[in-house]
Homo-oligomer: A and B are copies of this chain.
Amino acid sequence: MTEAVRAALRAQRIELPSWAFGNSGTRFKVFGQRGVPRTPFEKVEDAARVHAFTGVAPTVALHIPWDRVDDYSRLAGFAKELGVGLGTINANVFQDDDYMLGSVTNPDPVVRRKAIDHLLECVDIAGQVGVRDVKLWFSDGTNYPGQDSIRARQDRLAEALQETYDRLGDDQRLLLEYKLFEPAFYTTDVPDWGTAYAHCLRLGPKAQVVIDTGHHAPGTNIEFIVAFLLREGKLGAFDFNSRFYADDDLMVGAADPFQLFRIMHEIVSADALKAEAGVAFMLDQCHNIEPKIPAQIRSVMNVQEATAKALLVDRDALTGAQQAGDVLGANAVLMDAYNTDVRPLLADVRREMGLDPDPVGAYQRSGYTEKIVAGRVGGQQAGWGA
């Protein structure tokens, strides 16, 4: 069994978000950090470092227009030279002044057209760089009761999704993300998994749901949603992060490592860890106050540790106890795996992959931080606005 676990850990893939390397913050303040990238190329450089030290993060998701470049092939080529590739294309229809009252659900058809055109552009970019997934998250919604028709906005949403779906190539997918609230404070047009699921079902097999672990109401059982969508064949991807309150976007596993383990347990139970299962695992975080590259490395490691524990669950013993109605016994089987210290196992796996067993330490010793702090002086640091 151990070798199977090791093999699964070696084969795991976690996508990095380009924007995690730029500055981020809250509405109160974005604190700039030294050495932060100024361009998509520099973001890719940083992401490549994370992969160099972890070995399981070989792709970088892009955010359009934050990562807009003249020539995406050049960016892809640059990434390839650094040992990584481009990943999911994330559309952004929330930062133009026209989108104040919504993008694809805006009451104004001119604004809707503009927003849909952006979505189509994203599909095209994905096509150009040979990327499978286009991820859509909409900040659309309303702040005040009565502000707009909930139903009319669904009609407009359905229209926009259909047109985007129709543009997809044979091997492409549309990933639809939901979020309870923020930036809209009364209604959000895709607030929960049910809404995303219903739209994806109608669109067809190339439309799948994205679970962002920070986008739920308090008390929501996320692993239930994972299990349910897997059963329905509709789970397309994760945006990993963690939260204590709302969409805090902290490092995955930092706020509730047991929840992350339970999620990975559902993934492993449904045999959905391997690439063929079609579930993409991405980070989507904001390192507002901590240095970004080691935070990404740590996040990758947190996912690895949760995965390793999930792989160690004695599934036969678990099923046996479950079927016998042995509540404490079944829970104990799960907790045995969770309580295991998997860091030695992962250190071994890293050695097998030719990596330093201590990725954070190795990164710190590499001198990369000093290099970018010294080198990236002047220019406009990347952030959510650019």
Pairwise interchain contact A29-B94, C-beta atoms closer than 8 A: yes
Determine the chain B residues whose CB is within 8 A of the CB of A19 once the complex forms. Answer: none
Report B-chain residues with C-beta under 8 Å of the C-beta of A198. Answer: 194, 197, 228, 232
Quick check: B195 and A327 within 8 Å, CB to CB? no
Q: How far in angstroms is the closest Cβ of chain B from A54?
A: 15
Give Cα A318 to B145, complex, Å: 11
**Does A325 sit at the interface, judged by CB under 8 A?**
yes
Residue from A218, A228, A331 with most neighbouring chain B CB atoms (10 Å): A331
**Contact in complex: A246, B182 (CB < 8 Å):** yes
**In the bound complex, what is the Cα–Cα distance between A244 and B330 (angstroms)?**
18
Q: Is A368 an interface residue (CB 8 A)?
A: no
Contact indicator B183/A331 (Cβ below 8 Å): no
The residue of chain B having its C-beta at the shortest distance from the C-beta of A217 within the complex is B217
| Contact present for B218 and A143 (CB under 8 Å) | no
CB-CB under 8 A for A29 and B183, given A289-B101, A343-B339: yes
Judge whether A133 is part of the interface by a CB distance below 8 angstroms: no
Are the CB atoms of A327 and B289 closer together than 8 Å? Answer: yes
A28 pairs with B295, CB closer than 8 A: no
**Which one of A66-74, A256-264, A273-281 is at the B interface?**
A256-264
Whether B218 pairs with A248 at a CB distance below 8 angstroms is: no
CB of A28 within 8 A of CB of B95, answer: yes
Q: Which of B25, B195, B258 contacts A256 (CB 8 A)?
A: B258
Binding site for B on A (CB under 8 A): 24-32, 94-95, 97, 99-101, 107-108, 139, 143-152, 154-155, 180-183, 185-188, 191-195, 197-198, 201, 216-221, 223-225, 227-228, 230-232, 243-246, 248, 250-251, 254-258, 262, 265-266, 269-270, 288-291, 294-295, 298, 305, 318-319, 321-325, 327-328, 330-335, 338-341, 343, 360, 384
Q: A148-B322, A191-B221 are in contact. List 16 more A-B contacts (CB 8 A).
A: A24-B27, A29-B95, A29-B139, A29-B183, A31-B100, A147-B331, A148-B330, A151-B230, A151-B231, A151-B270, A180-B245, A187-B224, A192-B220, A290-B327, A339-B343, A340-B341
A and B contact pairs by CB, cutoff 8 A, 25 listed: A26-B183, A29-B139, A31-B100, A101-B327, A143-B289, A144-B328, A146-B321, A146-B322, A149-B269, A154-B227, A181-B245, A181-B248, A185-B244, A185-B250, A188-B224, A191-B221, A198-B228, A217-B218, A245-B246, A246-B246, A291-B328, A294-B328, A332-B360, A339-B341, A341-B341
